[in-house]
Chain A
Amino acid sequence: MLIVQKMVILSLKGGVKVSNILHLSNLLAHKKISSVELTKQYLSAIRKINPSINAYINITEETAIAQAKKADDLRDTLGGNAPVLLGIPMALKDNLAVRGLNTTCCSKALENFKSTYTATAVQKLFDSGAVLLGKTNMDEFAMGSYTNTGIYGATFNPYDTTKSSGGSSGGSAAAVASKIAAYTLGTDTAGSARQPASFCGVVGYKPTYGTVSRYGAIALASSFDQISPIANSVKDCAIIYDTIKGFDINDMTTIKQIYAPCLDKIDGNVKNVKIGIVNELFENCSKDITDSLHQAIEMYRKLGAEIVDVKVPHIEFALPVYYILGCAEISSNFGRYDGIRYGYKTTKPYKDVDDFIAKTRSESFGDDVKRRIMLGIYFLSQNNFNEYFLKAIQLRNELVSDFDEAFKQCDLILSPTTPTTATSFDYNPENVVDKYKADICVVMTNVCGLPAVSIPCGKDKLGLPIGMQLMGAKNSDCKVLNAAFAFETNSDLKLDPGLGGVTYDI
């Protein structure tokens, strides 16, 4: 779906510097700047800023300039019918395949792997004229919440480089926050786009499962994975979503449906919209976060929304269900890494094929990957299958029913995205489960296939961004984005890490 320039409606306040798609697209449309010039500005900003945050692990300068030149030529031909994304520079998480480019998942296992095809969602962006600046950092195979388990080192938070950018799409979120990419695609299996978006003060949007093809997104846990836009505004996320969604013959979990553009439905009107509050999701949050969320709730009330309490009876099981089923899917998906057809292979002597594969895998996977594969095999083993795996499937179905019921009482559910703002890198609890528990607010939407967006809603005492999450029923993506836009457009919140990325005055 091509979202054309004539649909652009600027709704930005005056006197601020912005780096969002709509504004950049207007500048390009009015020939205030060419795509090549804009791309060069971004590349220059990347060279200046990236060494301090490590958001990019591969800068595709040649590709970017070639695509930008092509975009400028195409704009001359298309004029006012040019797609909004034509000539806008962006970046991709390094688990998204682009033909001819390395796709490493930040793992030794795929360090030299070159994709032989392009992911469907990425191809749709390219077809709309996107300019690829590079690939962004992530946790190894997207397993982690701090972007510090990959082979290229950690991504540092643009607001405080002693803090984490979140993860696993930390490089993508940090690049957008630092204004060294206009937007990025991340992936979200258990909050991996929303949580770093929250930590970095940008918008992270996980669409309804099945609306965006996963073809070319290297699989983690297939029934949870979702390609997810990360951008500087809600409308930017809507533009990206409108561009990448749709049925794909190469991903049979995509929904056969024709979608109207969400961007057309975003007017910020939340009058009579029922916003649900699940009290359990506010437990263990810092005071700064709770206060910010309560202010947001008050704003929604003033805008005419109705706030209601809702229950999700099986909420306590969401994380256990994810870790059982997610690990089970990982253990199956990761059987493909054998070092024979692609990827790292051991250089040590081996006695047979199994020994070769075991040495290859043991040398190339990090601890998080090994742990989840091992857990998946444990849960799927004959002795544990019934009491863990089947029980988790039943509880997943219970949670789906819970949310079906909840969304009969409300249109959306509002919660914090994370119980804390960006954490320090030395946060390393004794018990590995304590790290997992921070995903409580974000994991449910992946368990149930629901859409959810994280938008910045405040700052803590240290000036670190606070994220608010809005979840909706299946296929209510436009409603979710509209409510997020209502907050964004009525909020006075101004966030800027001040690193000197690419911005333009309104």
Chain B
Amino acid sequence: MITEKDFENAAENALLYFNDEEKERFMKDMSSVIEFVSVVKTVNSDKPTAYKPLTISATELREDVIGTTLPNEEALSNADSSEDGYFVIKRRSKGE
């Protein structure tokens, strides 16, 4: 069962808002899932807690080679607003 505090913490981190009706419904559904998966807590395993990679190349890094990149205009083409080649967002800092 997810607590109201845990739900609110998750919602804050997820950047999601829920009204009271949604909150009740989501808490119920999430509690069902959490109860279902809680079986994993009962298992003792000596397997690594680092994920065994499914492929070998996943652990390799690419060479630093300058390649073709998306043109600036195209990179901005799906943005609602842009200016001087940059995305426009509301200022995050509290000053000014």
Contact between chains at B47 and A397 (CB < 8 Å): yes
Q: List chain B residues, Cβ under 8 A from A117.
A: 70
Q: B residues 52-67 with Cβ under 8 Å of A?
A: 52, 54-58, 60-62
Contact between chains at A449 and B58 (CB < 8 Å): no
Contact between chains at A432 and B70 (CB < 8 Å): no
Interface size range on A against B: 35 or more
**C-alpha spacing A255/B59, complex, angstroms:** 11
Q: List chain A residues, Cβ under 8 A from B30.
A: 371, 374-375, 378
Separation in Å of the A247 CB from the closest CB of chain B? 7
- Given contacts A116-B78, A342-B78, whether A388 and B37 have CB atoms under 8 Å apart is yes
Q: A residues 244-259 with Cβ under 8 Å of B?
A: 247, 249, 252-256
Separation in Å of the B15 CB from the closest CB of chain A? 4
Q: List chain B residues, Cβ under 8 A from A114.
A: 77-78
Contact between chains at A353 and B92 (CB < 8 Å): yes
Q: List chain B residues, Cβ under 8 A from A256.
A: 56-57
**C-alpha spacing A112/B78, complex, angstroms:** 8
**C-alpha spacing A400/B50, complex, angstroms:** 13
**C-alpha spacing A331/B55, complex, angstroms:** 23
Q: List chain A residues, Cβ under 8 A from B37.
A: 319-320, 323-324, 388, 392
Contact between chains at B14 and A377 (CB < 8 Å): yes
Contact between chains at B54 and A321 (CB < 8 Å): no
Interface 9-residue window, one of A130-138, A185-193, A358-366, A497-505:
A358-366
**C-alpha spacing A375/B31, complex, angstroms:** 9
Contact between chains at A345 and B80 (CB < 8 Å): yes
Contact between chains at A356 and B90 (CB < 8 Å): yes
Contact between chains at A371 and B29 (CB < 8 Å): yes
Contact between chains at B57 and A432 (CB < 8 Å): no
Point out the residue from B10, B43, B75, B77 that lies within 8 Å of A374, measured CB to CB: B10
Q: Which residue of A lies closest to B70 (CB)?
A: A116
Contact between chains at A358 and B32 (CB < 8 Å): no
Contact between chains at A381 and B36 (CB < 8 Å): no
Interface size range on B against A: 35 or more
- Given contacts A252-B62, A340-B89, A374-B26, whether A316 and B32 have CB atoms under 8 Å apart is no
> Does A260 sit within 8 A of B, measured CB to CB?
no
**C-alpha spacing A245/B43, complex, angstroms:** 37
Q: List chain A residues, Cβ under 8 A from B36.
A: 319-320, 323, 433, 436
**C-alpha spacing A350/B89, complex, angstroms:** 12
Q: List chain A residues, Cβ under 8 A from B40.
A: 317, 320-321, 324, 387-388, 391-392, 395
Separation in Å of the A216 CB from the closest CB of chain B? 13
Separation in Å of the A192 CB from the closest CB of chain B? 18
> Does A409 sit within 8 A of B, measured CB to CB?
no
Contact between chains at B90 and A377 (CB < 8 Å): no
Q: B residues 1-60 with Cβ under 8 Å of A?
A: 2, 6-7, 9-11, 13-18, 26, 29-30, 32-41, 43, 45, 47-52, 54-58, 60
Q: List chain A residues, Cβ under 8 A from B39.
A: 316-317, 320
> Does A370 sit within 8 A of B, measured CB to CB?
yes
Contact between chains at A357 and B15 (CB < 8 Å): yes
Contact between chains at B10 and A253 (CB < 8 Å): no
Point out the residue from A223, A247, A354, A395 that lies within 8 Å of B15, measured CB to CB: A354
**C-alpha spacing A317/B29, complex, angstroms:** 20
Contact between chains at A393 and B15 (CB < 8 Å): no
> Does A261 sit within 8 A of B, measured CB to CB?
no
Separation in Å of the B25 CB from the closest CB of chain A? 8
**C-alpha spacing A365/B26, complex, angstroms:** 14
Q: List chain A residues, Cβ under 8 A from B38.
A: 320
Contact between chains at A373 and B43 (CB < 8 Å): no
**C-alpha spacing A353/B2, complex, angstroms:** 28
> Does A282 sit within 8 A of B, measured CB to CB?
no
Q: List chain A residues, Cβ under 8 A from B29.
A: 371, 432
Contact between chains at B2 and A378 (CB < 8 Å): yes
Contact between chains at A223 and B51 (CB < 8 Å): yes
Q: A residues 402-461 with Cβ under 8 Å of B?
A: 431-433, 436, 448-449
- Given contacts A358-B16, A391-B40, whether A378 and B52 have CB atoms under 8 Å apart is no
Point out the residue from B15, B45, B89 that lies within 8 Å of A398, measured CB to CB: B45
Binary interface encoding of chain A residues 253-295 relative to chain B, with 1 for a CB under 8 A from any of its CBs, else 0: 1111000000000000000000000000000000000000000
- Given contacts A113-B78, A320-B36, whether A377 and B58 have CB atoms under 8 Å apart is no
Separation in Å of the A376 CB from the closest CB of chain B? 8
> Does A341 sit within 8 A of B, measured CB to CB?
yes
Q: List chain B residues, Cβ under 8 A from A395.
A: 40, 43, 45, 47
**C-alpha spacing A374/B16, complex, angstroms:** 9
Known: A362-B17, A395-B40. 15 other contacts (CB 8 A): A253-B54, A255-B56, A316-B39, A317-B43, A319-B37, A320-B38, A362-B16, A365-B16, A374-B10, A381-B6, A381-B10, A387-B40, A388-B37, A393-B47, A448-B54
A-side residues, CB < 8 A to B, are 112-114, 116-117, 209-210, 223, 247, 249, 252-256, 316-317, 319-321, 323-324, 331, 339-343, 345, 350, 352-354, 356-359, 361-362, 365, 367, 370-371, 373-375, 377-378, 381, 383, 387-388, 390-398, 400-401, 431-433, 436, 448-449, 474
Chain A to chain B contacts (Cβ below 8 Å), 15 pairs: A114-B77, A116-B78, A247-B57, A253-B54, A320-B40, A353-B92, A374-B26, A375-B30, A378-B34, A393-B47, A394-B48, A397-B52, A432-B33, A433-B32, A436-B36
B-side residues, CB < 8 A to A, are 2, 6-7, 9-11, 13-18, 26, 29-30, 32-41, 43, 45, 47-52, 54-58, 60-62, 70, 74-75, 77-80, 87, 89-92
